[in-house]
Amino acid sequence: MLLLSAGMFGQMYNPVKWSTSVEKISDKEYVLKAQAVIQSGWHLYGQYIEEGGPSRTAFSFKNPKKNFELIGKTTEEKGHEVQDKIFDMKIKYFEDKALFTQKIKFTSDEVSNIAAEVEFMVCDDSNCLPPSSEELAFKIPNVTKLAAAEESAVVKNDTAVTEDKTIVEAEKAVSKAVADPVKKQESKGFLSIFIIAFLSGFAALLTPCVFPMIPMTVSYFTKQSKTKAAGIRNALIYGFSIVIIYVLLGSIVTAIFGADSLNALSTNVWFNLIFFVLLVVFAISFLGAFEIMLPNALANKVDSQADRGGLIGIFFMALALAIVSFSCTGPIVGTLLVEAASKGGIAPIVGMLGFSIAIALPFSLFAAFPGWLNALPKSGGWLNTVKVVLGFLELALAFKFLSNADLVLQLHWLEREVFLAIWIAVFGVLALYLFGKITLPHDSPLQHISVGRLSLGLIVLTFVIYLIPGLWGAPLKLISGFPPAMHYSESPNGIGGGKTETASKETLPEGAEFGPHNIITFHDYDTGMEFAKKAGKPVLLDFTGYACVNCRKMEELVWSDSKVLGVLKNDIVLISLYVDDKKELPESEQYVSETTGKKIKTIGNKWSDLQIKTYKANAQPFYVIVDHNSANLTEPSAYNPDIEEYYGWLQSGIKNFKK
Express each pLDDT in 273-296 by its tens digit: 887 888 788 788 878 777 666 566
Task: Using the predicted structure, report yes or no on whether residue 267 has a pLDDT greater than 60.
Answer: no
CB 29 within 8 A of CB 105: yes
The dihedral built from the CA positions of residue 367, 373, 377 and 381, taken in this order, carries a sign that is positive
Is 576 or 220 the better-scoring residue by pLDDT? 576
Q: Which of 154, 129, 120, 195 is nearest to 22 (CA)?
A: 154
Instruction: State the chain's mean pLDDT as an integer.
Output: 76
pLDDT of residue 650: 94
Which domains does the chain carry?
9-178 (2.60.40.1250), 180-379 (no CATH), 380-489 (no CATH), 494-658 (3.40.30.10)
pLDDT of residue 460: 94
Task: Using the predicted structure, report yes or no on whether residue 342 has a pLDDT greater than 80.
Answer: no
Radius of gyration of the chain (CA): 31
Mean pLDDT of 436-454: 84
pLDDT of residue 39: 84
Compute the distance between CA of residue 637 and CA of residue 615 in angstroms, rounded to an integer.
11
Mean pLDDT check: name the lowest of 164-173, 228-237, 625-634, 649-658.
Answer: 164-173
Compute the distance between CA of residue 458 and CA of residue 464 in angstroms, rounded to an integer.
10
Mean pLDDT of 625-645: 90
Q: Which residues contact 293 (CB under 8 A, 6 or more apart)?
A: 326, 327
Specify the pairing of strand 622-626 against strand 539-544: antiparallel
Specify the pairing of strand 539-544 against strand 29-38: unpaired
CB atoms within 10 A of CB 164: 15
Mean pLDDT of 579-602: 85
Q: Which burial class, exposed, middle or buried, applies to 503 when counting CB atoms under 10 A from its CB (0-12, 13-18, 19+)?
A: exposed
Band (351; pLDDT cuts 50, 70, 90):
confident
pLDDT of residue 375: 67
Task: Using the predicted structure, report yes or no on whether residue 371 has a pLDDT greater than 80.
Answer: no
Band (175; pLDDT cuts 50, 70, 90):
very low
Compute the distance between CA of residue 5 and CA of residue 3 in angstroms, rounded to an integer.
7
Task: Using the predicted structure, report yes or no on whether residue 334 has a pLDDT greater than 90.
Answer: no
Q: Which of 239, 280, 286 is nearest to 383 (CA)?
A: 286
Compute the distance between CA of residue 534 and CA of residue 619 in angstroms, rounded to an integer.
30
Distances (CA, A) of 155 to 134, 158, 250, 582: 13, 5, 50, 29
Mean pLDDT of 149-174: 41
CB 186 within 8 A of CB 81: no
Is 659 or 228 the better-scoring residue by pLDDT? 659
pLDDT of residue 9: 45
Q: What letter represents residue 328's amino acid?
A: C
Mean pLDDT check: name the lowest of 271-280, 370-379, 468-477, 509-518.
Answer: 370-379
Q: Which of 49, 138, 145 is nearest to 549 (CA)?
A: 49
Q: What is the DSSP letter of 493?
A: T
pLDDT of residue 287: 85
Task: Using the predicted structure, report yes or no on whether residue 67 has a pLDDT greater than 70.
Answer: yes
Q: Which burial class, exposed, middle or buried, applies to 278 when counting CB atoms under 10 A from its CB (0-12, 13-18, 19+)?
A: middle
131: alpha, beta or left? (left if phi > 0; alpha if psi -120 to 50)? beta
CB 452 within 8 A of CB 489: no
Q: Which residues contact 627 (CB under 8 A, 6 or more apart)?
A: 1, 538, 539, 633, 657
pLDDT of residue 541: 95
Is 294 or 592 the better-scoring residue by pLDDT? 592
Neighbour-count burial for 140-151, b at 16+ CB within 10 Å, e otherwise:
beeeeebeeebe
Is 394 or 52 the better-scoring residue by pLDDT? 394
Q: Which of 438, 378, 393, 339 is nearest to 203 (CA)?
A: 393
pLDDT of residue 495: 59
CA atoms within 13 A on the CB side of 228: 5
Task: Using the predicted structure, report yes or no on whether residue 177 has a pLDDT greater than 50.
Answer: no
**If you count DSSP H runs as helices and E runs as strands, how many of each does the chain have, helices first?**
20, 18
pLDDT of residue 171: 37
Mean pLDDT check: name the lowest of 78-82, 131-135, 218-222.
Answer: 218-222
Rank 170-184, 213-227, 343-357 by mean pLDDT and report only the highest.
343-357
Mean pLDDT of 609-619: 85
Q: What is the DSSP letter of 293?
A: -
What would the 3-class secondary structure string for 335-353 be?
A: HHHHHHHCCCCCHHHHHHH
pLDDT over 70 for what percent of the chain?
71
pLDDT of residue 174: 33
Q: How many residues does the chain have?
A: 659
pLDDT of residue 261: 45
Q: Which residues contact 150 (CB under 8 A, 6 or more apart)?
A: 62, 112, 113, 114, 115, 137
CB 215 within 8 A of CB 222: no
pLDDT of residue 557: 81
Compute the distance between CA of residue 234 and CA of residue 219 in angstroms, rounded to an integer.
12
CB 362 within 8 A of CB 321: no
CB 529 within 8 A of CB 108: no
Mean pLDDT check: name the lowest of 19-28, 67-76, 155-164.
Answer: 155-164
Q: For residue 376, how far is the Cα from the chain centroid?
A: 41
Mean pLDDT check: name the lowest of 234-243, 370-379, 448-457.
Answer: 370-379
Express each pLDDT in 494-528 by its tens digit: 555 444 444 455 578 888 988 888 889 999 999 99
pLDDT of residue 552: 74
Is 541 or 134 the better-scoring residue by pLDDT? 541
Compute the distance between CA of residue 530 and CA of residue 421 in angstroms, rounded to an integer.
45
pLDDT of residue 298: 57
Backbone phi and psi for residue 388, each to the nearest 5 degrees, phi listed first:
-65, -45
Task: Using the predicted structure, report yes or no on whether residue 234 has a pLDDT greater than 50.
Answer: yes
Is 531 or 161 the better-scoring residue by pLDDT? 531
Task: Using the predicted structure, report yes or no on whether residue 468 has a pLDDT greater than 90.
Answer: yes
The dihedral built from the CA positions of residue 616, 547, 642 and 80, taken in this order, carries a sign that is negative
> What is the value of pTM for the model shown?
0.46
CB 628 within 8 A of CB 533: yes
Compute the distance between CA of residue 524 and CA of residue 518 in angstroms, rounded to an integer.
18
Q: Which residues contact 54 (CB under 8 A, 6 or more apart)?
A: 45, 87, 91, 121, 123, 128, 547, 548, 549
pLDDT of residue 295: 60
Q: Which of 428, 399, 386 is nearest to 287 (CA)?
A: 386
pLDDT of residue 172: 41
Compute the distance between CA of residue 139 and CA of residue 638 in angstroms, rounded to an integer.
41
Express each pLDDT in 187-211 by its tens digit: 545 777 788 888 888 777 776 667 6
Mean pLDDT check: name the lowest of 175-184, 436-445, 483-492.
Answer: 175-184
Q: For residue 550, how far is the Cα from the chain centroid?
A: 15
Q: For residue 469, how far is the Cα from the chain centroid?
A: 25
pLDDT of residue 257: 56
Express each pLDDT in 11-65 by its tens digit: 566 788 898 989 888 888 899 999 998 887 788 888 888 766 777 898 989 888 8
Task: Using the predicted structure, report yes or no on whether residue 486 has a pLDDT greater than 80.
Answer: no
